Amino acid sequence: MLEKEKLTFPDLADLMGRLHFSTTDGRIWLDDQRMLLVHAKALGMLRREMIELLGVDMARGFMTRMGYHAGVADAQLARKVRSRTSIQDMFVVGPQMHCLEGIGISEAVRIDCDVEKGTHYGEFIWTSPVEDEEHIRHFSIGTEPACWMQIGYASGFSSEFMGRQVLYREVECQSMGHQLCRIIGKLVEEWGPEADDDLRFMMPGAFDDGLAKNLARPPCKLIASPDNTDGPNHPVGISPSFNSVMHMVRRVAPTQATVLFLGESGVGKEVFSRTLHRLSSRADKPFVAVNCAAIPEQLIESELFGVERGAFTGALQSRQGRFERAHGGTLFLDEIGTLTASAQGKLLRALQEGEIERLGDSQTRKVDVRVIAATNVDLRDEVAAGRFREDLFFRLNVFPVRITPLRERREDIPLLMTHFLSKFNLRHGRRLTGFTQRAVDAMLSYDWPGNIREMENVIERGVILAPDDGAIDSPHLFTSGERFTEQRFSINQDGKLVPVNAASLVADASKEREIERVSRRVNNLLLNDSEDCDNVSLDEIETVLLRRAVERAQGNVAAAARLLGITRPQMVYRLKSRGILNECE
Instruction: Give the residues across from 63 on adjacent strands.
Output: none
Taking the mean position of all CA atoms in its chain, how far away is CA 555?
A: 33
Which band of pLDDT confidence, cut at 50, 70 and 90, is reported for residue 3?
A: very low
| Cα dihedral 27, 29, 35, 38 sign | negative
pLDDT, residue 536, reads 66
What are the pLDDT digits (tens) for 172-185? 999 998 999 999 99
Taking the mean position of all CA atoms in its chain, how far away is CA 458?
A: 14
Say how many C-beta atoms besides its own lie within 10 A of residue 284's C-beta: 9
Report the C-alpha gap between 465 and 481 in whole angstroms.
16
What are the pLDDT digits (tens) for 18-49? 888 877 778 888 887 888 888 989 989 999 99
pLDDT, residue 219, reads 37
Between strands 497-501 and 434-435, the pairing is unpaired
Q: Are 471 and 509 in contact (CB under 8 A)?
A: no
Minimal CA–CA distance to 220: which of 187, 262, 263, 249?
249
Instruction: Name the strands in the sheet holding 166-172, side by side, starting at the edge strand that comes first in the sequence.
Output: 105-114, 119-127, 181-187, 166-172
Say yes or no to pLDDT of 469 above 90. no
Instruction: Give the residues across from 166 on adjacent strands.
Output: 187
Say how many C-beta atoms besides its own lie within 10 A of residue 49's C-beta: 12
What mean pLDDT comes out for the span 446-456?
Answer: 93
Q: Is 560 exposed, middle or buried (0-12, 13-18, 19+ CB in 10 A)?
A: buried
The residue type found at 411 is E
Say yes or no to pLDDT of 155 above 50. yes
The residue type found at 274 is R
Q: Are 125 and 141 in contact (CB under 8 A)?
A: no
pLDDT > 90: percent of the chain:
32
pLDDT > 70: percent of the chain:
82
Residue 188, SS3?
Answer: helix
Report the C-alpha gap between 223 and 229 in whole angstroms.
9
Say yes or no to pLDDT of 400 above 90. yes
Which range has the top average pLDDT, 23-27, 210-214, 314-318, 408-412? 408-412
pLDDT, residue 228, reads 41
What mean pLDDT comes out for the span 45-66?
Answer: 90
What mean pLDDT comes out for the span 330-344?
Answer: 92
Report the C-alpha gap between 119 and 113 in whole angstroms.
6
Instruction: Give the residues across from 127 on adjacent strands.
Output: 105
Which band of pLDDT confidence, cut at 50, 70 and 90, is reported for residue 394?
A: very high
What mean pLDDT comes out for the span 394-417?
Answer: 92
DSSP 197-216: HHHGGGSTTTTGGG-GGGGG
Which band of pLDDT confidence, cut at 50, 70 and 90, is reported for residue 216?
A: very low
Minimal CA–CA distance to 432: which of 466, 476, 475?
466
Residue 26's region, left for phi above 0, alpha for psi from -120 to 50, else beta, is left
Which band of pLDDT confidence, cut at 50, 70 and 90, is reported for residue 392?
A: very high
Say how many C-beta atoms besides its own lie within 10 A of residue 518's C-beta: 21
Say yes or no to pLDDT of 211 above 80. no
At residue 462's C-alpha, the angle toward residues 461 and 468, to 5°, is 120
Say yes or no to pLDDT of 244 above 80. yes
Say yes or no to pLDDT of 332 above 60. yes
What mean pLDDT comes out for the span 189-215?
Answer: 68
**Better pLDDT: 577 or 59:** 59
Q: Are 156 and 75 in contact (CB under 8 A)?
A: yes
Report the C-alpha gap between 166 and 188 in whole angstroms.
5
The residue type found at 421 is L
Which band of pLDDT confidence, cut at 50, 70 and 90, is reported for residue 382?
A: very high
Q: Which residue ranges form the domains of the chain, and what is each CATH number? A: 4-216 (3.30.1380.20), 240-402 (3.40.50.300)
What mean pLDDT comes out for the span 100-119?
Answer: 86
Say yes or no to pLDDT of 337 above 90. yes
Q: Are 58 and 200 in contact (CB under 8 A)?
A: no
**Better pLDDT: 536 or 28:** 28
Minimal CA–CA distance to 67: which of 128, 158, 5?
158
What mean pLDDT comes out for the span 138-152?
Answer: 90
Minimal CA–CA distance to 405: which of 437, 452, 440, 359?
452
Which band of pLDDT confidence, cut at 50, 70 and 90, is reported for residue 254?
A: very high
What are the pLDDT digits (tens) for 476-524? 898 887 777 654 444 344 434 344 455 555 555 555 556 555 666 666 6
Residues in contact with 459: Cβ distance below 8 Å, sequence separation at least 6, in sequence order: 417, 420, 421, 424, 472, 477
pLDDT, residue 223, reads 35
What mean pLDDT comes out for the span 124-137?
Answer: 90
How high is the mean pLDDT of the chain?
82
Spell out a b/e string for 327-347, using b for 16 or more CB atoms within 10 Å of the CB, else e. bebbbbbbbbbbbeeebbebb
Residues in contact with 90: Cβ distance below 8 Å, sequence separation at least 6, in sequence order: 78, 79, 82, 83, 161
pLDDT, residue 571, reads 85
How far the first Cα of the chain sits from its last, in Å, is 33
Between strands 27-30 and 434-435, the pairing is unpaired
Question: What are the backbone angles phi and psi of residue 511, rounded to the nearest 5°?
Answer: -65, -40
Q: Are 446 and 502 in contact (CB under 8 A)?
A: yes
Containing 300, the helix (H) or strand (E) segment is helix 300-305
Task: Please name the residue ranges forming H helices in 82-147.
Answer: 87-91, 93-100, 130-139
Which range has the top average pLDDT, 11-15, 222-226, 419-423, 540-544? 419-423
Task: Please name the residue ranges forming H helices in 208-290.
Answer: 240-252, 269-279
State the virtual CA torsion across 93, 95, 101, 105 in degrees, nearest 10.
Answer: -150
Report the C-alpha gap between 253 and 287 in whole angstroms.
14
pLDDT, residue 356, reads 83
Half-sphere exposure of 248 (CA within 13 A, CB side): 19
